[in-house]
Amino acid sequence: MKAGSNLERVLEAGHFAVTAECGPPRGADGDKVLKKAELVKGNVDACNVTDNQTSVVRMSSVAGCMLVKQTGTEPLLQMVVRDRNRIALQSDLLGAAALGVRNLLCLSGDHQKFGDDPQAKNVFDIDSIQLIHLVKTMRDEGVFPSGDKLEGAPKFYIGCAINPFADPFEIRVPRFKLKIEAGADFVQTQCIYNMDKFKRFMEEAKKEGLHERTKILAGVTPLKSAGMAKFMNRMVAGIEIPEEFIKRIADEPKEKQAAKGIEMCIEQIQEIKEMEGIAGVHVMAIEWEEKLNEIVGGAGLLPRPMVEQ
Amino acid sequence: MITGTPKPIEEILEMLEPYDNIIVAGCFGCVTVCRVGGDKEVQVLSSTLRLAREAAGRKIEIKEVCLERQCDPEYLEPMRPYIEDYQAVLSIACGAGIQFMAEKFTKSPLLPGINTGFLGVTERQGEWTERCQGCGDCVLHLTGGICPVTRCAKSIFHGPCGGSVQGTCEVDKEVKCGWQLIIDRLVTLDQMDNYGKLKPYKGWDSSRDGGPRRIIREDMV
Amino acid sequence: MLLKAFENGADGVMVIGCLEGDCHYVNGNIRARARVERVYNILEQINIGPERIRMYNLSAGEGAKFAAFTSEFVTRVEELGPSPINLARSNGPKDSEQEVQAT
């Protein structure tokens, strides 16, 4: 066991894992996180807490993790390298570990131009892959990157994100490999709509044996409406929704589109469950956490397994 | 070359409020090449300022000069005999030149007439793009001659990030994804092995992050 | 040079170039137009009145057109009145206009 987190134990025991996401609020109201966490509880093995996603300022991810933990669900800390230099990264990680956070997702972060402070300084002291390496060094060797001994090594199950739909396609598997070389234990993918492309990606990844060296959790996002589908397809870099997919939901009358979106999401998860090399699913029901129970249950993934320490 | 853009005329006029008698100083170096601070630009700017001030009922006297460079002391010295006859100097050289002039002539207020930009190249007449950040630790031999620090908006060393779309950066469709360029070049040079290696964390202490920098050539001092 | 004309007291400056595609110096008239536009923008920024500069294209043989353009431009400048420079110099409305033949 690298960190002994619930997510790690579930995956190591061979179960199909489920994770979901909680975005902290745009303010200091902790209750907002607690409410979301209550909806997630019992439906996941760990819950991601995002880190100033899209560069939009939100309550810190570490604080969000503590609130999630309070409700009895295991948190998964997302950390971007956009805003913190290596000193702050190390420091925040040690703090999070001390507070009992055992899962980490290392990310680059969307450029600050997308958020409320496009004039902010661009940090990017080390990149996300170097962050993975840094955490692994601290965890497994018990030392700072500078070489000094740690007074207590942080125990993190280390994850990263991959996007099979970003360009260029040919580099996605080599970059995935780099992340594993750096020390990634698990991976969450960007949300999938184009199943064919994802399958092609998995074929390439399996050739390199990457599915055996790391646990791959496939990302899904249920669509609330045809409008949302069209918006995401056009506006969000790295998200690709095939026409047939959009058509299926667009063909429904407006009031039935949400239900259709959920149905399609459940179908996707069931297809993903059958794919070789996929160890779990990451359900990003952003601002729709109340549907999580229906989705995870509908896909036959409840109740979540309890794995002994 | 070092590039720059002209300051808006309103901003310059505001700076010139206290003065009736100034020097406008250009430079035959980089700013001439990128058409923002050379001889011609000195003349056009001076005419513009005279017209604007006179139309507002308040003349301004301008001595127009253009120096070989503003970053070497020998080219600034010729100004010493007359510089104190003027109330201020509006320099349209780069920030280095403006500051050096201020250092050499401490009694003369120095005003910047341009916003100094970046180390760049001429894509075509009228278009300049950034190439170098002066990080002090060049790795161009590992990335096919394309700089990940400057040309990637996130200065990633193992790129591209998930925001690369058809060779363009998530920051701006007009900006090429630095890592797409690097990968294409590595493929052309058959150096993709370089891609698969984990790079050590960048040492930013050789860049301005380590403090204002200095070069001493022992063999020359 | 164009700006100098205004400094020297011109209320308006008319720039004449060959018909586009017909320039003896290949594209001198196109470059002239770009410069006229730059001066137009400068005059606009400093509130001198950008219409005080204008470029016309015609061929050497089009005498009648030349006369017509000139009349039109003179009328226009008279409507605009003396340039703010001249007003400031209190020299009275100077009916001065300079023609610059561009090739």
pLDDT tens for residues A62-76? 999 999 999 999 999
> In a 3-state reduction of DSSP, which class is residue B115?
strand
What type of residue is A183? G
Residue A245 lies in a domain: no
Residue C20 has pLDDT above 90, yes or no: no
> In a 3-state reduction of DSSP, which class is residue B19?
coil
Residues of chain A positioned with their CB less than 8 A from the CB of B130: none
Going by C-alpha positions, the residue among A47, A25, A39, A122 that lies closest to residue A81 is A122
Cα dihedral B162, B167, B172, B173 sign: negative
In terms of average pLDDT, the best of A235-239, B19-23, C23-27, C48-52 is B19-23
Rounded to a whole number of angstroms, the distance from the CA of C3 to the nearest CA of chain B is 6
Distance CA C13, CA A140 (A): 78
- The answer to whether A76 and A7 are in contact (CB under 8 A) is yes
Distance CA C96, CA A23 (A): 70
Contact A127 B156 (CB under 8 A): yes
**Which phi and psi (to 5°) does residue C27 adopt?**
-135, 30
- What are the residues facing B110 on neighbouring strands? B89
Distance CA B175, CA B167 (A): 9
- What are the residues facing B169 on neighbouring strands? B172
Tokens of A164: 């099979």
Residues of chain A positioned with their CB less than 8 A from the CB of B157: 127, 129-130
Q: What is the pLDDT of residue B48?
A: 95
Contact A130 B199 (CB under 8 A): yes
**Residue C102: band (very low, low, confident or very high) from pLDDT cuts 50, 70, 90:** very low
Question: So what CATH class is B2-118?
Answer: alpha beta
Q: What is the pLDDT of residue C39?
A: 93
Residue C93 has pLDDT above 60, yes or no: no
Residue C46 has pLDDT above 50, yes or no: yes
Residue C101 has pLDDT above 60, yes or no: no
Residue A118 lies in a domain: yes
Contact C46 B47 (CB under 8 A): no
The size of the A-B interface in CB pairs under 8 A is 92
Rounded to a whole number of angstroms, the distance from the CA of C45 to the nearest CA of chain B is 7
Burial C3-39 (b: 16+ CB within 10 A, else e): bebbeeebbbbbbbbbeeeebeeeeebeebbeebeeb
Suggest the residue from A134, A137, A162, A175 to mutate for an interface test with chain B (most B CBs closer than 10 A). Answer: A175
Contact B9 C42 (CB under 8 A): yes
The answer, for C89 touching chain B at a CB cutoff of 8 Å, is yes
Residues of chain A positioned with their CB less than 8 A from the CB of B195: 171, 174
Distance CA A186, CA A98 (A): 22
Contact B201 A86 (CB under 8 A): yes
Going by C-alpha positions, the residue among A20, A13, A73 that lies closest to residue A295 is A20
The Cα diameter of chain A in Å comes to: 63
Chain C adjacent subunits, 3+ CB pairs under 8 A:
B
Which residue ranges of chain B lie beneath pLDDT 70? none
Of C3, C47, C85, which has the smallest distance from its Cβ to B44's Cβ? Answer: C3
Distance CA A133, CA A139 (A): 10
Task: Show me where the domains of chain B are located.
Answer: 2-118, 137-210
Residue C64 has pLDDT above 90, yes or no: no
Residue C100 has pLDDT above 80, yes or no: no
* Cβ contact B–A (≥3 pairs, < 8 Å): yes
Residue entry with tokens 């035959």: B28
CATH number at residue A151: 3.20.20.220
- The answer to whether A86 and B201 are in contact (CB under 8 A) is yes
* Cβ contact C–A (≥3 pairs, < 8 Å): no
Select the more confidently predicted residue: C24 or B165: B165
C-alpha A256: how far from its chain's center?
A: 29
Distance CA B4, CA B22 (A): 22
Residue A91 lies in a domain: yes
Residue A300 lies in a domain: no
Residue C54 has pLDDT above 70, yes or no: yes
The answer, for C45 touching chain B at a CB cutoff of 8 Å, is yes
C-alpha A262: how far from its chain's center?
A: 20
Distance CA A81, CA B156 (A): 10
Beta-sheet pairing, B114-124 with B110-112: unpaired
Distance CA A144, CA A137 (A): 7
DSSP letter string over chain C? -HHHHHHTT-SEEEEEEPPTT-BTTBSHHHHHHHHHHHHHHHHHHTTS-GGGEEEEE--TT-HHHHHHHHHHHHHHHHHH-S-HHHHHHT------EEEEE--
- Rg, C-alpha atoms of chain A: 19
The answer, for B138 touching chain A at a CB cutoff of 8 Å, is no
Tokens of C51: 């219409």
Distance CA B104, CA B114 (A): 20
Residues of chain A positioned with their CB less than 8 A from the CB of B154: 82, 108-109, 111, 122, 124, 127
Of B177, B180, B201, which has the smallest distance from its Cβ to A130's Cβ? Answer: B201
Burial B162-180 (b: 16+ CB within 10 A, else e): bbbbeebbbbeeeebbbbb
Which residue ranges of chain A lie beneath pLDDT 50? none
Distance CA C10, CA B211 (A): 53
Rounded to a whole number of angstroms, the distance from the CA of B171 to the nearest CA of chain A is 7
The answer, for B61 touching chain C at a CB cutoff of 8 Å, is no
Domain that holds residue A178: 6-224+278-294
* Total of domains in chain A: 1
Nearest C-alpha in B relative to A191: B162
Tokens of B221: 């001092």
Contact B156 A82 (CB under 8 A): no
Instruction: Tell me the pTM.
Output: 0.89
The answer, for C80 touching chain B at a CB cutoff of 8 Å, is no
Contact B48 C42 (CB under 8 A): yes
B99 Cβ neighbours under 8 A, 6+ residues apart? B110
Q: What is the pLDDT of residue C91?
A: 52
- The answer to whether A61 and A77 are in contact (CB under 8 A) is yes
Residue A20 lies in a domain: yes
Q: What is the pLDDT of residue C25?
A: 72
